Structure 1
Amino acid sequence: MSRVPSPPPPAEMTSGPVAESWCYTQIKVVKFSYMWTINNFSFCREEMGEVIKSSTFSSGANDKLKWCLRVNPKGLDEESKDYLSLYLLLVSCPKSEVRAKFKFSILNAKGEETKAMGKKLIQL
C-alpha cells in the first residue's frame, strides 16, 4: 500500500494538536448563477397571490437538483400586499437533505443592482 502525501493543513489548523499523521477533507461546494429576465415587468397585471414562474434550472448537465424561481409581483397575501415576493423553489431532489446558500439581486433596465438579499445557509 502506498501513501499519498496530504496537502499542508490550512493556516487555521497549524496551531492544533500534534499528530504523527492526519488527513484533510474538503467538502465539494457547487457554485453557479442563474439570471431570469422578465421583459416588460412594469406592465405586469398579476394580482396579489398570483404567480410568475421561471423555467426549471440546475447548476449543470449532471446535476440532479432542479430549481425554479417564483415571483408574486403584488405579494403573496395581505401581509405582503404591494410588495414583490421572490422565492427559490427546489423542484426535484434525489437526496433526503440539501443545503443551499443563495443571493437574489434585482436589476433595473440598465442592468444595475437595485435590491439584493440572500440567505447564508438553509437546509431543505
Structure 2
Amino acid sequence: MTPRELRAFCLEFNAATEEFPFGPETSVFKVLGKLFALSALDARPLTVNLKCEPEIAVRLREEYEEIVPGWHMNKRHWNTVTVDGRLPDRVVRELIEDSYDLVVAGLPKAERLRLDRP
C-alpha cells in the first residue's frame, strides 16, 4: 500500500476528514472530529497509528512483527502498523476499517445513525 492509497482509503469512509493539527507532515484522519488514523505519509517506512480493541491489539502484536504498541498513543488502545509490503494490504485495510468502526461505535447514537452505522 502506498501513502496515496492509504490516504485515499482513510478518506473513503463516511464523514472522514484529513486534518493537520500536529503540522503539515502528519495526516490525522477523523470521523466527526474523532481520530481514527494518524500517519506521516512521507515517512519511510510508512506507518499508521490505528485504534484497536485492547485484547485484539495484544494478539495482533504477537502475530505480526509489523504491529507494535501505538507510538505516542495510549498503548492499550492503539497500534502502530508498518506499511512496507510485508503485511498484506487486505490486513492493513481491515485494521483501518476496524479503527474507524471503533471510533464510530463511541459516538452518540444520533451521530452513528447519521453515518448509517448503528
Give the TM-score category using the shorter length: under 0.3
- Give the structure with the larger strand fraction: 1
Give TM-score, length-normalised by structure 1: 0.23
Q: Which has the larger radius of gyration?
A: 1
- Give the structure with the larger helix fraction: 2
Q: Which structure is higher in RCO with an 8 Å CA cutoff and minimum separation 6?
A: 2
